[in-house]
Structure formats: structure tokens, C-alpha cells
Amino acid sequence: MSTRRCPRCQATYPAPARYCVKDGALLVEEAGRPAVSPRPRPHPLRLPDPPDPRSEAASPHDPLAPAPDPASTLSGKTLDRRYRVGKRLGEGGMSYVYRAEELETGRQVAVKILLPRLSRDPASVERLRREATIAMRLDHPNVCPILRLGETPERLIYLVMPFLEGEPLSEQETRRGPFSVSEGIPLLVQVCQGLQHAHELQIIHRDLKPENVMLVPEGKVAGGEAPRYRAVVMDFGLAKERRAGPEVAKLTATGIVLGTPEFMSPEQIRGKPLDGRSDVYALGVLAFELFTGQLPFPGKSAQETMIARLRGAPARLREVRPDLPARLESVLLRALALDPAERFGSMNEMAHELEGVVATGVLGRLFRR
């Protein structure tokens, strides 16, 4: 088993540990290469515009210009004789995402295309196939499933998902600021319900954050009423089955996307075995930010917040927003417990306690129906 070293205190750890538990430093392989590349949290989510094909730098007559990536130029084309590809919605470390129309049915879908350079990497292809295999088992209104895994004659590997009309929770947070209790609790309960479904299938998300929760408008809104949303948990690309074998564990430990540091549980930072209580912790971080607009641990960088999570207690919710209920503060403190044994044992248990925050009002009566 390979070992990794802290460049500050020289302590060593077995893989897949990524950060030093003493000072939070990014570990390096014994050969000196960083174990992972630190990635800033993409909040708010803003995607770069594609290069202008009319620019001189992109001119096909420029012999020094790089060849266009076939996965990045699919708009207006037909993919695999099945999907008419429309607007590109975004891109990540492993893929491009497009809106498309399924030719046979006319329904709108989202298509995730693996980057061509990664389609030649067996580990990356296996990660995508594993994502599809896991997510095809999901069937819940608060979880986004995978509909199809395909490969074109040109060796483009893709996933097809339902297209959801809505926006990520992160964008709503950025635009409108902290949520009220009456608006935030129903969304958190729905996230709990979606993750409970995944956990019952022995699937842990491992990368829960506002960017991975889509808010889908539900029904028409009368004048003066706040819109109602359905929360849908997205992107099970880091998901892991608790019963997975060593080959899957190896893939997860060496994969390109390693989670978002600000939302990782202490055991995930340490590279320890995970269960559903790690998602409980991440939801606690998400909920704290939802109601306050800030993270529950102090720090000027992701590394500093990781150190705070490993060493100290989270900020108290009502120190930031005194108007919030004491019971909500108690719920989040339990979700953010350093020891997994002190957290909620299931998402259903956390949902029940969240509902209890508003159980005496009209919203609580609606939950009990």
C-alpha cells in the first residue's frame, strides 16, 4: 500500500488519506507529487463561455490552433442517431453536459459526454460506467436517475438523464440570500427523503453540496405567493456502494473528482470508511449555509475549514441568526457532530427532527398529512 507524507510535519499516512489530521496540509506521495489537487468550491456556479469560433485564435486556418474537441462541439448535431443535441449547459472535470431531444419520444433530456481524453483512460470509463450502474437503480422524485449509458461509433461515451427545468440551490442562495425556516425546511426534508432512498440501496452520495441540489418549480404560483420547489439530488458521480469490492474502492480513491472540501465529513477528510452518516454531516453543512449564508466552520480557505472540522466545534446557528428556532440549532449541531455515532442514524431520523422544528405551525400540519 502506498504511503503519503505531510510536507509540514512529515507525518505519514496510508492511502487513500488526503489531508494531515494534525495541520490540514495536503498530503504528497512519497515521490513528492501531491495526493490530490485542491479545488476551490465553485460557488456561485458560473460556467465559462465557450470560445468564439469566429475569433482568430480559433480559426481553422491557424496551423498552431489545437484541434477542436469533438465532445465540445456537439450543439446542433445528432448524437448516436438518438438525440438531437442543443445548448451546452456546462462542463466539469470529466464531462460536458448538453440539453438534447430524444428523437423517438420528443422528450427533453440532459446528456453528459465523457471528455475524449478520458474515454481512453480505463479508470475514467469505469467510473462513468459505475455512476450509470448505481444511478440506474435510483427511482425517487427527489433523486435524478440515469436513463441510459451509450457509446457512439466515434467512441464518445455518454450518459442520459431527465432534463430538469430549474436551477441549482447554489444559484438561488447567491441571488436571494439566506432562506427562511418555512422555505428551507421543506427543501431539506425532500433532500433527506431522496438520500434515504439511496441509502436504502446501500448508495452513499459523498459529494452533497448546493450545486448538486436542483430546485424544480412545482405548479403555478398565485399572486403574492412564494414559488414551491421540488428538491432533486443530482450527480451521483462520486457515489459509492457500501458493499463495493476493493476494485471500486481503488477507483474511488484515485478518481478525478474527490469531493468538495468544505462539505466533507471529518471521516471523509481522513480517508476513513464511510456510511450514510457522512451524507448526514454534509447535509448539516448545507443546511447551515442555507439559513445563514456562511459555513459553520471558520477559515479563510478550504484547508483552514478542514482543520477547524477536525479540531473544533461548529459555530452555533443562532449566534449568526438569533431569529432562528433553538430546535433547528439543535438539529444541525447533532448532524455536525465530530463522531458519526453522535449524528442521526438515518436520513429519515433527520427529516423527522427537521419537521419537528415547524410541527406546531401550518407547515407542520401539512407534513403530517
Q: Spot the catalytic one: 23, 80, 207, 339.
A: 207
Amino acid at 131: E
Query: 90 near 136, Cβ under 8 Å?
Result: no
Residue 96 bridge partners (DSSP): 91, 113
Query: 147 near 135, Cβ under 8 Å?
Result: no
Residue 247 bridge partners (DSSP): none
d(CA 49, CA 58): 14
d(CA 241, CA 275): 9
* Closest-CA residue to 26 (of 302, 310, 282): 302
SS (H, E, C) 75-102: CCCEECCCEEEEEEEEECCCEEEEEEEE
Q: Which three cell numbers stand for residue 98?
A: 448538453
Note if 275 is an active site residue.
Answer: no
Residue 111 bridge partners (DSSP): 98, 160
* Closest-CA residue to 263 (of 242, 286, 244, 246): 286
Quickly list H helices, 201-245: none
* Closest-CA residue to 284 (of 220, 195, 219): 195
Query: What are the Cα distances from residue 105, in Å, to 65, 83, 101, 160?
Result: 39, 10, 8, 14
Residues in the chain: 369
Catalytic residues, which ones? 207
